Structure 1
């Protein structure tokens, strides 16, 4: 029976190199091919990889098990994460499926997001999800941080959290004042940092600052290779199977939706008081359109 990869944050390439001496001769043929052509291998089935390297499919399956992966799908996900970190924008455009008729492209994108959701459903760490919700509920103060595309998710979670609790601060990582906001946050705040490939260095810097300031750092990311994971107190990976041109939104949006609904289902009377106050403020300041009171001219 296949074991588990000893360090899931280690690149699959490093894992292959570490096991190379212990592999069979045919296993080394596979390993050398993947080391040389990872961007080709990542799109291959077991049959295609076996035919390309002139070994049997059984050899491919044994090779994956020797590396510590539970199955070929887990191996491909690890290889996908490795390849994704090194793809430039021009290289992403050249990937299969990025070009073609607009109608075909739309259906491809929808199918890719459906596959990404299946990947999330089958591989999400449910215990980590629950622990995230627990910490958000207990934390005296929460800072939500994102930068570039990940700011989209940070804003979504930060704005949504204001509907279920107090003490939430939204921080834009690309703002030079982000460090000031972290420094001014209450002691032992919970810092939730969204980091999406291709991982802006400013977020890595802010993650290190949050740790030095004594805050609790939680990282939500799309890959086990995220460079913030090694110094986070806890992390949650929302994996995707496809290679995005810029980014895929569905998987991490589902994580945000879960966290908000989970928290909303826990707080009972306290939540109702908080939301009643919000609704009163909305009415007094005419914040939201009300179909029952508005009249069309």
Structure 2
């Protein structure tokens, strides 16, 4: 496993395994908490310590002591571990059920917008500035930039590749429909290159395999993912953690997109002269070949329609 450049010691923690392992030694009250979590973890994840205690029939302090007994510093860390279980274990049908239980139709718009705002806030509070700065440095010094993100992460990968291509000639968006095709596209990666892997629960096996392969070829690895518990971080030198909320039928990409946006802006500022020159050339091309309409064009279209 790569140690990482950001000083984070990745700790594997599966709260379900810990509960099962210690169950026989639990007190009566602790077993009530354990039973509820094992049977209803998708509901328990939305409870505070007080609410969990109320539902189970024990005190809030009993819930807090239970968290410490399992090896967590307190309920907040315990709750975070429970979030990881929910993110990784629920399938799409179960996500739909959770979403339906959580959100009332009348409050849907505000609830979703507030959830996205919360994801941004959590990302701001938890993002590692050292990792971000290192990621910018790695990208600037790479010979070739490989970017992979599939399924719901594909738009993020495409967005990042589009803008980095403004600055760098060697940007490769890794798109594939089979594992064999995937490796064919990254076969030449080596220590002079960087791979940026983007994946969120449920994590894409093809992205994990691509990152693993790139790490074996001694390429630099940057991940954009939701947690240090993500399997991508096993191979990564720099992990950009963006909160994508709890399980929902639709993955929230707001915070990850914001992190990617910041990464692009940081790279652009470091390569300001190149970016300015390229954008000026592109503006000439757009104008020459009428890629975008002008205000005069829109005015003529309006008159024609009338």
SS at match of 2:174: strand
Candidates 211, 228, 247, aligned match of 1:243: 247
**What is the match of residue 116 of structure 1?**
119
**What is the match of residue 81 of structure 1?**
84
**Residues 18-58 of structure 1: CA distance to partner in whole angstroms, max 9, x if unpaired?**
67789777556544543444223212211121223433212
Structure 2 residue runs of 5 or longer lacking an equivalent are 1-7, 302-306
In 2: Cα distance, 1:22 partner to 1:140 partner:
56
Q: From the two aligned structures, give the one with the greater helix fraction.
A: 2
* Structure 1 residue 276 displacement after superposition: 2.9
Distance 1:65 1:132, change over 3 A: farther
Q: Does 1:62 align with 2:62?
A: no
* Structure 1 residue 157 displacement after superposition: 0.9
**What is the match of residue 279 of structure 1?**
283
In 1: Cα distance, 2:101 partner to 2:144 partner:
42
In 1: Cα distance, 2:10 partner to 2:41 partner:
20
SS at match of 2:166: coil
In 2: Cα distance, 1:264 partner to 1:169 partner:
18
In 1: Cα distance, 2:287 partner to 2:73 partner:
55
Range with greater deviation from structure 2 (77-86 or 95-104): 95-104
* Structure 1 residue 158 displacement after superposition: 0.9
Q: Is the 8 A contact 2:146 2:195 kept in 1?
A: yes
Q: Is the 8 A contact 1:112 1:242 kept in 2?
A: no
* Structure 1 residue 113 displacement after superposition: 1.3
Q: Is the 8 A contact 1:147 1:174 kept in 2?
A: no
How many pairs are equivalent? 293
- For 1:215-294, list aligned pairs within 5 A: 215-291=219-295
Q: Does 1:211 align with 2:219?
A: no
Q: Does 1:72 align with 2:75?
A: yes
* Structure 1 residue 100 displacement after superposition: 7.1
Q: TM-score with structure 1 length normalisation? A: 0.83
**What is the match of residue 45 of structure 1?**
48
In 1: Cα distance, 2:109 partner to 2:122 partner:
20
Candidates 11, 16, 37, aligned match of 1:34: 37
**What is the match of residue 181 of structure 1?**
185
**What is the match of residue 198 of structure 1?**
202
**What is the match of residue 162 of structure 1?**
165
Distance 1:293 1:54, change over 3 A: closer
**Residues 251-284 of structure 1: CA distance to partner in whole angstroms, max 9, x if unpaired?**
1011111101112222232332333333344344
Range with greater deviation from structure 2 (224-233 or 139-148): 224-233
Structure 1 residue runs of 5 or longer lacking an equivalent are none
